[in-house]
Amino acid sequence: MRNRTKLAGTTVGLAFAAMAAGCSSTGSEDSATASVSPDEPVTITVLSGTITEKPDGDVEQAFADAYMAEHPNVTIEYIGVPSNELQTKLAAMASSDTLPDIFFNDPSFAAKSVDLGASADLNGILNADFLGGFEQRGLELASVGDQLVFVPWYSIPTGLIYRTDWFEEAGLTPPTTWDEFTSIAQDLTGDTDGDGNVDRWGVALLGSADLSGAGRFIPILRSFGAEELYEGPDGWETGYDTPGGVAAFQLYGDLVNKYQVTPVGTLSTSYPEAVNFMSTGTTAMMISGSNAIGAILAQNPELEGKLGAVPIPHASGQEPAANLGMGGYSISSTSENPEVAADYLSFIVNKENQVAWSDATGRLPLRTDALEAISAAGGDLAGFVDAIKYGYAPPQAPFYSTILLAGTDAYQKVILGQTSAEDAARGAAQATRSEIENGG
Amino acid sequence: MKTRKPAAATVATYAVLVISSLGVLVPVGWMLSTALKSGEELFSQDAHWIPLNPTFAAFTRVFTDYPFATYFGNSLLVVGASTVIAIAFASFAGYGISRFQFKGRGTLMGFLLLTQLFPSIMLLIPYFKLFQGFGLIDTQAALIIAYVSFQLPLCTWMMVGYFRSIPTELDQASEVDGAGRLRTFWQIVLPLATPGVAATAIYAFITGWNEYLFALVLTSSEDKKTVPVGIGQLIGQYRIEWNDLMAASLYALVPLTLIFVFLQRRIISGMTAGAVK
Amino acid sequence: MAASSPTARPDAEGMRLSAPRKGRGKAPRRSRRDAIAGRVFTLPVLLVTIAFVAYPIVYGIGLSFFETNLVNRWEFVGLDNYAKLTRDASFLDSIATTFAFAALVVAGNLIIGTIFAMLLNRGLRFTTFFRVVLILPWLFPEVVVALLWKWMYNPIYGLFNSELQSAGITDQPIAWLDDPNLALFAVAVACIWKGYPLVMVLVLAGLQTIPNELYEAASLDRAGWWGKFRFVTLPALRPVLLAVMVLETAWWFKHFTIVWLLTSGGPAGATNVVSIDIYTRAFKNFQWGDAAATAVVVLVITLLLSGIYQKVLNRDED
């Protein structure tokens, strides 16, 4: 705060403008502790990226409507922003102290939101009994240090989605190792209509230089026993250039260039493109989060019952890995009604709502009771419930997304044949280390 | 242009014009074709120009499944208001700069250019803070003011250029009649500037109509959002509703295209004397 | 000159940004009242500009001396952010990419826009139709332009590959946005498609101010079309072209939306223009000081470029 005045000093002569900015910080001094009486009207604003999605938004809005029917004094007001722009909006709100009561958060933003002082510690707001009903993994990922930053609201664990009908036809079983995976991918690549052109490929590989691409690569990297970023004895370290890391980059290059089991355009294949490949029967497998199943079926309902999922393959001697792909809601540190906000959040994660939500969206809950119900029902999401136990916590470094993008840059270079896997791995590691130096 | 053109040159001109028009019409046609396709047909490996089962569903969905009627109303209100204000201010300034000599005229013009040179992404936060200070976040007023500020620099340039092309003898005559400056401006100079005003207004309208980022950040509730923000919301985290998106985009084109079809002559003759001079 | 000049002469004056113009030959006693009137008439523009241009820019320049996340970390670091930029290879790369990108788009817009304007100015039949059609891309929101082209570039479902393949020109689909050598061009093509109509309209307007007598005189001198273009059209268009070049360079140098939506800066950084760099630093990494310093560098570069244009294009005139 002290330095804010300093900055204002540099804008001397523009007192009019500076004043305008200055009076933006209206506090909420007396409310944080005051509990709300049941009939006092309260409005809770929620900044959400899911509310603008279809069908996710409709389901979420229905929860809000149900809650408001139960609590006539409460108005739940959603602020919908496409998820790609969420952080832009949040930055603007945070910089002028106008955060909504509840805002969307995820593990990659959690540390930053704490750094910004935006999120309240939920351990003090939600009771311990209720928190005990979450998967332990989920709570760990939603915390920074001892602070619980957000209520886990869904998880999209990484798994391998495959066409059960084609596997059956070819007498294949889902791969558990990467060697099995490549050989199956080759088996399933071919010309199905006999016109001499390959029209079916083994795998829809996400090779785009964005966080979607990284979201697939990192679990694969970890299934080779390498970690992009971890906390060592002397601070942050990277395993991009370990032998496992090199093997992961090599796998990307080989799938595209050596085995040619991916459709053309790998580098601009991001999530929507990959979903299209699956829904049109262009590819047989895809590494993705659980929501992809719903997205594929939405585009092509005929695939109902023809999709299955298992945890992703792994290198020999290693374990599968899954990015839990969690999202959740934080209560902002400036909220005037944190108790009401907390009550609403505990409402949307109750068992009934969570099961309905995951049925509609393919996003898995992190409530133990709801997960058990889904596993017991044995639908196409059940395979993903198995993957949750391999879920890892993305490291909570403020510069983490830069490290992810260093990985995408490197696999693109390997796919393009610009560098060898070794050099690409070295490049990614180097970029990571210099980021650690600058940012840590 | 009165000289007789050799036929070959005319043929070549038509050839180039036809081919380049295709360069515009093909993508637009592809939009239309995409908007008419059903969800399943969108992702077929062999793309068809004429949809196999054309459907207008996307065109109705835009208004039934999404509040595009509201978005259109907001866009018209915000962009209309900001265009009127920007044109009024720009005309005043154009008149002032072209008719009166005072220190700092050139500096003001240069200053206006500066707005075009600074990366607009960095303006986002200061704008947000300003509007926050005035309690205008999530209001149409904020968007109107923001758009005025985007439209003004070039509009002012254009109006200055246009007023300069209007002979000053006329206003001197009017002053001799004893008319005040404001009346001279209003009754003599502005009417002469109508084509320039039209051209400038079109520019301003397009600038505002297509703006996305600031509308996204400065508004929050559904009943304040504009058309580009609505279109942006069709791009989901995990998928894009291509047919709905194209249908909405085609609707968004309608007002601008209508204006152009009816006013294009005036626009270009207005530009003639405007910015370009 | 000029302000009292009765005819609509196409001179460079409107575009001369900072040179105050000479007197209008009025009696000196009027000049004070003139000055007041002039100030009053320009006041609204001045106020809006100060609040919404000066303040944000000064704010941005101020930020560039801080290490800050805009909320609770404000550390004055002097020129450190700038020093860091000079050592930052990705920043230098992105500046180079931006120069290449802006040069491609501005040159494309100017050449295509000018050619179309000259063709439309011949006054042939159906000109109205072509004029409306050729102006259409200008009316599209950038978001739509980007998505439309992304959709057409799509290697599997896109229009280009489907047409090229069915015409037998290529047998393998081309991944336009995947190839580092193609991606910048592919992005530039989409931007030119969006950008040329404005140049076309402005040049067309400029062409209509050229008196026919000049062409007739040139014909008497037996000038061919090239001669007319070189000695009549180009000089007359110089002020228009100067204005267009200054604005276009500034706009495309800091362009964000279309590139962001098409490639997000990929593949392998091939289209990582400086606005994307700024956006990432500011809104993804919350390194507002770095982002602001980068923005100031962009401001300086575009200022320098517009200065150079004015020098070069006004030189032959004197």
Secondary structure (DSSP) of B80-104: HHHHHHHHHHHHHHHHHHHH---TT
d(CA A140, CA A129) in angstroms, rounded, equals: 16
Do the Cβ atoms of A44 and A75 come closer than 8 Å?
yes
pLDDT for res C29: 55
- HSE-CB for C76 with a 13 A CA cutoff: 12
Using one digit for the tens of pLDDT, what is the confidence trace for A130-169?
899 998 888 888 888 889 999 999 988 999 999 999 999 9
Q: Give the ipTM.
A: 0.82
> Reduced to 3 states, what is the DSSP secondary structure of residue A285?
strand
Topology (CATH level 3) of domain A158-323+399-439: D-Maltodextrin-Binding Protein; domain 2 (3.40.190)
pLDDT for res B162: 81
CB contact under 8 A, C123 and B105: no
Q: Which helix (H) or strand (E) holds C241?
A: helix C234-253
CB contact under 8 A, B276 and C216: no
Is A314 a residue whose pLDDT tops 70?
Answer: yes
CB contact under 8 A, B90 and C138: no
> Reduced to 3 states, what is the DSSP secondary structure of residue C272?
coil
Measured CA distances, B267 to A282, B130, C123 (Å): 49, 35, 16
pLDDT for res A319: 92
| Chains contacting chain B through 3 or more C-beta pairs under 8 A | A, C
> Can you read off the two tokens belonging to residue A26?
């209206």
Do the Cβ atoms of C112 and C203 come closer than 8 Å?
no
Domain B60-273 has CATH 1.10.630.10: no
Tally of CB atoms within 10 A around A347? 16
CB contact under 8 A, C39 and B105: no
| pLDDT tier at B161, thresholds 50, 70, 90 | confident
pLDDT for res B111: 81
Q: How far is C31 from chain B (nearest CA, A)?
A: 7
Nearest CA to C149 among A225, A167, A268? A268
Percent of chain B with pLDDT over 90: 17
pLDDT for res B2: 46
Cis peptide before C173 (omega within 30 of 0): no
Q: Which helix (H) or strand (E) holds A235?
A: strand A235-237
Residues of chain A positioned with their CB less than 8 A from the CB of C85: none
What stretches of A71-127 show up as alpha helix (H) in DSSP? 86-95, 107-115
Name A391's bridge partners. Answer: A322
Is residue A88 less than 8 Å (CB to CB) from chain C? yes
Using one digit for the tens of pLDDT, what is the confidence trace for C50-81?
888 888 889 889 989 988 887 777 888 888 88
pLDDT for res A419: 92
Give the one of B97, B119, B272 whose C-beta lies nearest to C42's C-beta. B97
Q: Which residues contact A30 (CB under 8 A, 6 or more apart)?
A: none
d(CA C28, CA C117) in angstroms, rounded, equals: 44
User: Residue ranges of chain C with pLDDT lower than 70?
Assistant: 1-30, 156-157, 171-173, 268, 313-318
pLDDT for res B45: 54
Topology (CATH level 3) of domain C89-315: MetI-like fold (1.10.3720)
Domain spanning A30-155+325-392: which CATH class is it, in words? alpha beta
pLDDT for res B238: 65
> Can you read off the two tokens belonging to residue A107?
């593990």
- Rg, C-alpha atoms of chain A: 23
Closest residue in C to B45 (Cα–Cα)? C157
Tally of CB atoms within 10 A around A42? 20
Q: Where in chain A is the domain with CATH 3.40.190.10?
A: 30-155+325-392, 158-323+399-439
The answer to pTM > 0.90 is no
Hey, CA dihedral for B52, B54, B58, B64, is it positive or negative?
negative
pLDDT for res A373: 87
What residue segments make up the domains of chain B, in order of their start?
7-55, 60-273
pLDDT for res A8: 36
Residues of chain C positioned with their CB less than 8 A from the CB of A14: 50, 54-55, 58
**What is the average pLDDT across A54-74?**
91
CB contact under 8 A, B43 and A276: yes
**B6-13: long-range contacts at Cβ-Cβ below 8 A with a sequence spacing of 24 or more?**
B9/C225, B10/C122, B10/C124, B13/C119, B13/C122, B13/C124
| pLDDT tier at B47, thresholds 50, 70, 90 | low
Residues of chain C positioned with their CB less than 8 A from the CB of A24: none
Q: C28 versus A416: which is more confidently predicted?
A: A416
Measured CA distances, C2 to A86, A434, B91, C24, C212 (Å): 51, 58, 19, 9, 21
Using one digit for the tens of pLDDT, what is the confidence trace for A227-266?
999 988 888 999 999 999 999 999 999 999 999 999 988 8
Q: How far is C204 from chain A (nearest CA, A)?
A: 39
CB contact under 8 A, C133 and B25: yes
Using one digit for the tens of pLDDT, what is the confidence trace for A173-210?
999 999 999 999 999 999 988 888 888 999 999 998 77
Show the CA angle centred on residue C80, arms to residues C79 and C82, nearest 5°.
70
What residue segments make up the domains of chain C, in order of their start?
89-315
Is residue A199 less than 8 Å (CB to CB) from chain C? no
